[in-house]
Amino acid sequence: MKRLYLALLAGLGFGLVQAQANWSLESTIAYALENNPDVQIASDAIDAASSKIEQARAAFRPQLNLESSYMRTNMPLNAFGTILNQGVFDFGLNFNDPGQVDNLNVTGSVQYSIYEGGVRKSNLEAAKSMYSASEFRKKATRQSITFAVIQAWNQIIQAKEYVKSQQSNLNAFTESLDLAQRQFEAGKFLKVEVLNLEVQVARAKEGLVNAQHSLELANEALLNLMGTDENTVLAKIEPKASEHQEKINIISMTPRDRAEVLSMQQHVLAVEKNLKAVESGNTAKVNAFANYQYNQGFEYDGDGNHWMAGVSLNYNIYGGGLTKNRIREAKAMLRQARNQLRKTELAIELDQRSAIIGYRNAVEAAEVTSKMIESAEESAKLSRKRFESGVILSSELIDVENRLTEARMRRAFAITQVSIAEANIKRAYGYL
């Protein structure tokens, strides 16, 4: 029974792995957007900004408070007031020595700000703008992570092609070394030909090891973007060179509003509203208040309840320059925010121009390497036959084989750069 249970679990686990195997680029991006810490940090920032809005709204609501205390005293002044509050005053009381008095007090109070010179409204509008800025920052973060995943995805493709190129290079040199060894033993080749090829086999092995190491690093980079360190996830991801994005028409693309700019615009609005709130520090404040008290004494066995209500006006005539310098600070922060917005706009304009140049260069490089690899492969075929016939030396064959490997690696780099450039230009124009 236990074996059957384990077999069922194993079968279920295998089925789940099969169901989740070979993730697409889209599902990998979705996983990263769900688990990457930067996205989660951005979500937390939105939650914090939302709480700031509710804090600002709280200023428009009445503030209720309930207090309770118990005390004992023989201080004449306090004792006399307590006796009055409990309603047990007696003309026979010795005012200088009323004795010990106790009191249990329960007080309920309400306060409401009638007018604050626009401070509450400005703070609420600033909080709303900061919330919008946080939302746009999250959008920008998601776009950056999406592009980074696409880039890492294609870098894995590139690294795999490098491994294949180095493996082909090693196979070619190994075959040529076997041939040279047989020809040397037959007395047709010099020992130097064998030695040259042995050196190249060793170099090819080193190149293969380096390529495999680069592939491992590329895989780790993708895992990092996905917000996980579980290497089992890589079993579900199998990037293939055929998964390039479709070519895009640059001419038909028009720049969309980038989330970074929209975020900074909302930040500027928030700083403007903050300046208004600070400037309101010079206006009068009007507040309404009311409270109700219940007092109970045990020494005199008395009790009493009382209430009070009214309106207060507060106007700060002179605060030692505090408000003046707060306004000065707020104005400086506004200038800083506007300059930061302009800096962001300029950076995005440069980003878009750079993306166009990078895309065009990548496409041209891909076309050139396509022709390059055809010539290199044909040249390698002819050189291998000529080396086998003894027409050329190993040094010439080595040069040809190395050129073929370089051409293959250039081709792999060029193809993946086209895909990365396509994603980059979409990111730069706000289409990603």
What pLDDT sits at residue 247?
62
Distance CA 134, CA 156 (A): 33
Q: Is 320 left (phi over 0), alpha (psi -120 to 50) or beta?
A: left
User: 321-324 contacts: CB < 8 A, separation 24 or more?
Assistant: 323/278, 323/281, 323/282
What pLDDT sits at residue 5?
39
Q: Hey, is 92 helix, strand or coil?
A: coil
Distance CA 180, CA 176 (A): 6
What pLDDT sits at residue 270?
96
pLDDT per residue over 373-388, tens digit each?
888 888 989 988 888 8
Q: How far is CA 147 from CA 185, 195, 229, 318, 420, in A?
A: 57, 47, 20, 55, 8
What pLDDT sits at residue 249?
67
What pLDDT sits at residue 234?
74
Burial of 267 (0-12, 13-18, 19+ CB in 10 A): buried
Give me 48's structure tokens: 């914090």
Asked if residue 65 lies in contact with residue 109, where contact means CB atoms within 8 angstroms, the answer is: yes
What pLDDT sits at residue 96?
77
Give me 101's structure tokens: 């008095």
Asked if residue 263 lies in contact with residue 82, where contact means CB atoms within 8 angstroms, the answer is: no
| DSSP labels, 236-259 | GB---TT-PPPP--TTT--PPPPH
Distance CA 295, CA 300 (A): 12
Give the angle subtended at the CA of 210 by the CAs of 207 and 215, to the nearest 5°: 125
Distance CA 376, CA 404 (A): 5
Half-sphere exposure of 284 (CA within 13 A, CB side): 8
For 394, which DSSP code? Answer: H
Task: Give me the residues of the chain with pLDDT under 70, please.
Answer: 1-22, 235, 241-254
Give the sign of the dihedral formed by CA 389, CA 391, CA 394, CA 398: negative
Distance CA 59, CA 126 (A): 14
Distance CA 153, CA 418 (A): 13
What pLDDT sits at residue 14?
38
Q: Which residues contact 133 (CB under 8 A, 6 or more apart)?
A: 49, 263, 264, 266, 267, 270
Q: Hey, is 307 helix, strand or coil?
A: strand
Half-sphere exposure of 343 (CA within 13 A, CB side): 7
Q: Hey, is 70 helix, strand or coil?
A: strand
Asked if residue 114 lies in contact with residue 286, where contact means CB atoms within 8 angstroms, the answer is: yes
What pLDDT sits at residue 252?
63
What pLDDT sits at residue 350?
94
Burial 227-243 (b: 16+ CB within 10 A, else e): bbeeeebbeebebeeee
Q: Which residues contact 45 (CB under 8 A, 6 or more apart)?
A: 134, 137, 138
